[in-house]
């Protein structure tokens, strides 16, 4: 695994170096005030930071990866809750969500306890939170408050936790290599985001959802998804999949990533904000960076798990 990791890290760093050089060249030719070039440069700079953090987590092993995504979930949950309707009566429920539900979910993921982390939030936490809010006796906007808090847990904790949960999958002849499944998922989905942006700028004409995300076009979607899926097929050698399986899975997760991005954009439009936060320069908050992975991770996890359960 170490040999494959070094090769992949070398490839990623090489791509980032080329992208950084290309961005600087475009900046000189197009001028420092070009908004498109500024956006591209900010994305590349953010990628440098994210690759460094991911590399450290991978070197630390499974525990490091679980801790990393637990921290990401904490930051994402905080961002989501700042945009929700909350009241003093929700204090107990929100405290439980942050300091009890989130740690227990990731503890179960770290232990590989599928029977717990697969139902803990959508069943037990979903029932516990409205009970805690009810005990305080405040009924104004009760359904809205509870639903938004439940949705925050689902998005920021439950869905995100399925990324490190990939480490617990038992795949024959693939023992000790599950970290590459995480690499595959993140690289393919995030590459799709970037490639959709690039294809949209080059060929974009027909907008898909102008009220939600004006920059997303049909041409960008098709070009980005197909390009990222070809990249996924090229990465089959680090996965337990064949070339066709890697391509098909890439199609599914990139499409889910796109749809997830639209859903998260709809929430931002409803709340009247452009970004979820400002912690990551060029990418807004953690949710802005994770929105595609949020929706694709559970689908990817369960498809892989179901397939190997049958085999």
pLDDT at 1: 54
Cα separation, 285 vs 150, whole angstroms:
20
pLDDT of residue 300: 97
Q: What was the pLDDT predicted at 274?
A: 78
Domain that holds residue 188: 172-311
Q: In terms of domains, do 246 and 265 share one?
A: yes
Residue 74 has which token pair?
């904490």
Residue among 222, 216, 188 nearest 201 (CA): 216
Give, for 61, the enclosing helix (H) or strand (E): none
Q: Which of 132, 151, 168 is the last residue of a domain?
A: 168
pLDDT per residue over 142-172, tens digit each?
Answer: 999 999 999 999 999 999 999 999 999 999 9
187 with 267, same domain? yes
Per-residue tokens: 182:
């995480």
How many residues does this entry show for the chain? 311
What pLDDT sits at residue 31? 62
Residue-level pLDDT at 227: 93
User: Which of 140, 168, 196 is the C-terminal boundary of a domain?
Assistant: 168
Q: What is the CA radius of gyration of the chain?
A: 20
Overall domain count for the chain: 3
Note whether 155 and 87 are same-domain residues. yes
Q: Please check whether residues 126 and 241 belong to one and the same domain.
A: no
Structure tokens at 176: 């000790």
Please give the biggest Cα pair distance in the chain: 63
Low-confidence ranges of the chain (pLDDT < 70): 1-2, 30-36, 278-284, 311
pLDDT of residue 215: 80
- 67 and 118 assigned to the same domain: yes
Full DSSP string of 234-299? HTGGGSSS-HHHHHHHHHHHHHHHHHHHHHHHHHHHHHT-S-S-SSBTTTBSHHHHHHHHHHHHHH
Paired strand residues for 217: 207
Q: Are residues 297 and 211 in the same domain?
A: yes
Contact 175, 163 (CB under 8 A): no
Show contacts of 106-113: CB within 8 Å, 24+ apart. 106/66, 106/67, 106/69, 106/70, 106/73, 106/161, 106/164, 109/66, 109/161, 109/164, 109/165, 109/168, 110/62, 110/63, 110/66, 110/164, 112/167, 112/168
Predicted model pTM: 0.89
Q: What CA–CA distances, in Å, run from 57 to 2, 52, 270?
A: 14, 9, 35
Last residue of one domain, picked from the residues 16, 39, 60: 60
Q: Are residues 185 and 275 in the same domain?
A: yes
Task: Report helix angle 179-203 to 62-82, nearest 10.
Answer: 50
- Reported as a single tens digit per residue, the pLDDT across 83-102 is 888 888 889 999 999 999 99
Q: What is the pLDDT of residue 33?
A: 63
Look at residue 280 in the predicted model and tell me its pLDDT: 58
**Do 112 and 186 reside in the same domain of the chain?**
no
Residues 161 and 276 in one domain: no
> Could you tell me if 95 and 162 lie in one domain?
yes
Shared-domain flag, residues 307 and 176: yes
Q: What is the pLDDT of residue 30?
A: 66
- Do residue 158 and residue 197 come from a single domain? no
């Amino acid at each position: 695994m170490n040999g494959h990791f070094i090769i992949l890290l070398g490839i990623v760093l090489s791509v980032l170096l080329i992208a950084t050089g290309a961005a600087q060249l475009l900046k000189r030719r197009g001028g420092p005030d070009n908004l498109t070039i500024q956006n591209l440069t900010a994305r590349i700079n953010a990628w440098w930071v994210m690759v460094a953090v991911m590399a450290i987590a991978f070197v630390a092993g499974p525990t490091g990866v679980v801790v990393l995504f637990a921290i990401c979930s904490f930051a994402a949950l905080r961002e989501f809750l700042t945009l929700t309707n909350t009241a003093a009566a929700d204090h107990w429920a929100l405290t439980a969500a942050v300091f009890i539900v989130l740690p227990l979910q990731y503890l179960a993921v770290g232990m590989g306890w599928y029977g717990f982390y697969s139902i803990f939030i959508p069943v037990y936490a979903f029932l516990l939170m409205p009970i805690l809010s009810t005990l305080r006796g405040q009924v104004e906007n009760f359904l809205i408050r509870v639903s938004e808090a439940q949705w925050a847990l689902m998005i920021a904790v439950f869905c995100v936790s399925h990324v490190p949960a990939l480490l617990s999958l038992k795949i024959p002849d693939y023992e000790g290599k599950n970290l590459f499944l995480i690499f595959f998922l993140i690289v393919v989905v995030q590459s799709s985001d970037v490639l959709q942006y690039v294809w949209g700028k080059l060929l974009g004409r027909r907008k898909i959802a102008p009220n939600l995300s004006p920059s997303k076009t049909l041409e960008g979607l098709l070009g980005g998804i197909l390009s990222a899926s070809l990249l996924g097929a090229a990465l089959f050698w680090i996965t337990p999949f064949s070339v066709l399986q890697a391509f098909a899975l890439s199609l599914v997760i990139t499409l889910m990533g796109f749809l997830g991005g639209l859903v998260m954009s709809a929430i931002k439009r409803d709340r009247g904000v452009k970004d979820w936060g400002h912690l990551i320069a060029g990418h807004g908050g953690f949710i802005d960076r994770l929105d595609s992975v949020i929706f694709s991770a559970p689908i990817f996890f369960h498809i892989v798990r179901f397939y190997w359960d049958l085999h």
